[in-house]
Chain A
Amino acid sequence: MTRSFEIPGGAADSLRLRRRRALTLTCLGDGANVSMLIYSAENPLDRLNIPDTLKAQMSARVTAPMVLMSDMGRALASVTGSSLDWHDAVTGHGLDAHVEQRHGPSSYAAHGNDWRRSARAGLLDELWKHGLGARDLHAGVNWFTKVGPAGDERGSLAFVPGHAVAGDWVTLRAEQDLLVVLSTSPHPLDPAENWQPAAVRVTVEEVAAPGGGDPSRTFRAESARALAVTERSLL
């Protein structure tokens, strides 16, 4: 069974994603950004840990077939495929101050439901619904965004405009039951003058358990161990 729905640009949402279901995000416009936080549904104290994910897989970006790892060494989700080879995970999401600085003040009273809400505002709105909040914020993934390293002495980073276009996609396979919290507000380094955040389509479908030859398992010994530890704990 496949379920699919649309999230407009500049909005936030949250969903429970069961183990062995795949979530595909598809950009419905150019320049989309999806800032995502991920928690174990069973124990939200165990949340996505980007430093652990990156250092274990020797990568400064998120890309297929990497395994997204939790604070306690478990596989949360595997990136099973994507039309893009770079998703950002080191520059955080937008705060109210970023939105106001670039686009001016906005409110429901002034702009109705088209008011400009930062990723932080939307993510907190969703976290609070689940009994979580500011203490549960963590470094997330900015799907469809690339902030590339220059390779210089400072480790300078630069936002890459035009990285994602309409039709770009990424698929995550949940390796345990998850709480996924996301915002479609623009990345704070996106230089676009106009507030035109792109919508995304979310598609969820059931998928098979990863087999012995699954690309996320064979990617690296570290990826395989994170999957194995998780599978052993969920017999």
Chain B
Amino acid sequence: MTKAELLFDLTVAAGDGWIGEVPVGGSFRITDLEGNQAVDTLFYDARDYTNRYSAVDTIREQGAVYLTTGSVLRTVNGDALATIVDDTCGRHDTIGGACSQESNVVRYGEHTRHQHACRATFLRQAIGWGRGLDKRDLTHNVNFFMNVPLTPEGGLTFQDGVSAPGKYVELRAERDLLVLVSNCPQLNNPCNGYNPTPIQLTGWAAP
């Protein structure tokens, strides 16, 4: 089998972000290099940014909350964006959203207001992309490698990650994708094991 053309292979430092495209049929892999690192990710139809990832439409259509191999990530219009085709971690969250300075104040107190947060990274990357993407386009994301169990009684908690060094998740693009990543800088809960670390992003063209 011929190896598909490598489009990118890069490291994103703790607290940094990335935005870029993956063509239809291509693959996108996120590797948790050092373990227990939440990777907050948004997906858009690269031809129509309003046709964007929707956590609630994805959850409803698969009849389950957690994402893993076989999960189809869907847009707000129900279209397939990407399918998880390989997953050595086993469970990813899409209910917990991304951290922001303001939500940190609510959750942890005023002293956290000026700590770095995912939604600052999302905004900086979206504006930097320069094609009209802005705050209106930021919605509820996927948290790869994050563990947010839900109970039949309606409880929800952030727990220590189920990930470990070298674990990865790989998606196949079901249409041309724009991918927006924040490598989470959160220090106030166990989502990054209280120690944010780098991740690796790898993209391949369609085989």
Contact = CB atoms under 8 A, between A and B. Distances in A.
Contact of B150 (A73, A91, A133, A155): A155
A156 interface: yes
24 contacts: A45-B136, A49-B140, A51-B55, A52-B97, A52-B103, A55-B107, A60-B155, A71-B102, A73-B102, A90-B56, A92-B57, A97-B78, A133-B50, A134-B50, A137-B54, A149-B151, A149-B152, A151-B152, A154-B66, A154-B68, A156-B65, A157-B60, A222-B106, A229-B105
Contact of B107 (A135, A148, A157, A222): A222
B156 A156 contact: no
Interface of A: 45, 49-52, 54-56, 58-61, 63, 69, 71-74, 86, 89-92, 95, 97, 133-139, 147-151, 153-158, 188-189, 222, 225-226, 229
B63 to A, nearest CB: 6
Nearest to A188: B60
A129 to B, nearest CB: 17
A225 B105 contact: yes
A56 B151 CA distance: 16
A61 B155 CA distance: 8
* Interface residue SS majority, chain A: loop
Interface of B: 50, 54-57, 59-60, 63-66, 68, 76-78, 95-98, 100-103, 105-107, 109, 135-137, 139-140, 148-152, 154-158
Contacts of A222: 106-107
Nearest to A154: B64
Given A45-B135, A45-B136, A134-B76, A139 B63 contact: no
Contacts, number: 134
Given A58-B157, A69-B106, A148-B152, A91 B59 contact: yes
A189 B107 contact: no
A136 to B, nearest CB: 6
A62 to B, nearest CB: 9
B179 to A, nearest CB: 18
Contacts of B135: 45
Nearest to B78: A95
Contacts of A63: 154
Nearest to A92: B56
Contacts of A153: 66
